[in-house]
Amino acid sequence: MLTEPIRNKKHIKQIVEYYLNKKPNPRNYLLIVMGLYTALRISDQLTLKWGDVYDFEKKEVKTHLRLTEQKTGKSKIIAVNKELAHAIKLYLISRGGYNSVFDTEFLFKSNRKNNTAISRVQAWRIIKEAGDETNGRVSCHSLRKTFGYHAWRRGEAPSVIMDIFNHSSFEITRRYLGISQDDRDKVYLSLALF
């Protein structure tokens, strides 16, 4: 079955709050928030280290993430919004503050292996559990697609969304957004020309 974006904002909130309130885990909460607000592939999220998101000299969350995408080899700069910054701070506090982590330590560090990130399979399990517990089918890629779908619904230019995703054609982006017949019907039924 094809991975779909999470269209319902109430369901997004339930998924986000699963690791915040229902089964508190700041690392897993950050994994989901980062997936939703950066549109990064899970493979790119798992390469991030604390030094990529936190300025240890200034003792603050960085305003931008800078990385090279593994799949495309392209450089990417992503603005960190307040929700993502908050999730990073919560996770940092849960780890004991900025003195307890190192800039070269993986952000999504495995609990089982020294200085390695969690695996893609483990990331999938974390995200799937939040989806299962909130009565929805969710995967790592659903988070990326959710970003694009809601940006499109907000009226963001499809060309900008295409650029964010580093897609080579709009057709790929269109399929990614999961535009449904319901979305097309809303356009037909809401247009008032006279």
pLDDT in tens, 51-97: 999 999 999 999 999 999 999 999 999 999 999 999 999 999 999 99
Q: Is 153 a member of any domain?
A: no
Q: Is the pLDDT of residue 18 over 60?
A: yes
Q: Is 83 a member of any domain?
A: yes
Q: Mean pLDDT over residues 41-57, rounded?
A: 97
- Reply yes or no on whether 71 is catalytic: yes
> To the nearest whole percent, how much of the chain has pLDDT over 90?
73
> To the nearest whole percent, how much of the chain has pLDDT over 70?
99
pLDDT at 178: 81
- Reply yes or no on whether 167 is catalytic: yes
Instruction: Give the CATH number of the domain where residue 32 resides.
Output: 1.10.443.10
Query: With bands split at pLDDT 50, 70 and 90, how would you rate the model's confidence at 186?
Result: confident
Specify the range with the lowest mean pLDDT, choosing from 24-38, 45-59, 65-79, 100-114: 100-114
Catalytic residue among 37, 141, 145, 149: 141
Question: Which residues, 6+ apart, have CB-to-CB distance to 103 below 8 Å?
Answer: 49, 50, 51, 54, 56
- Reply yes or no on whether 113 is catalytic: no
Catalytic residue among 19, 37, 54, 176: 176
Q: Is 82 a member of any domain?
A: yes
Catalytic residue among 71, 74, 112, 154: 71
Catalytic residue among 41, 49, 109, 145: 41
CA terminus-to-terminus distance, the chain: 42
- Domain span holding position 129: 9-140
Tell me how many domains the chain contains. 1
Q: Is 107 a member of any domain?
A: yes
Q: Is 70 a member of any domain?
A: yes
Q: What DSSP letter does each residue of 62-113 carry, written as one string?
A: -SEEEEE-TTT--EEEEE--HHHHHHHHHHHHHTTSGGGS-TTSBTTB-SSS
- Reply yes or no on whether 144 is catalytic: yes
Model-level pTM? 0.91
Distance CA 22, CA 131 (A): 13
The answer to whether residues 38 and 177 touch, using CB atoms and an 8 Å cutoff, is: no
Q: Is the pLDDT of residue 1 over 60?
A: no
Q: Is the pLDDT of residue 101 over 80?
A: yes
Q: Is 152 a member of any domain?
A: no
Q: Is 54 a member of any domain?
A: yes
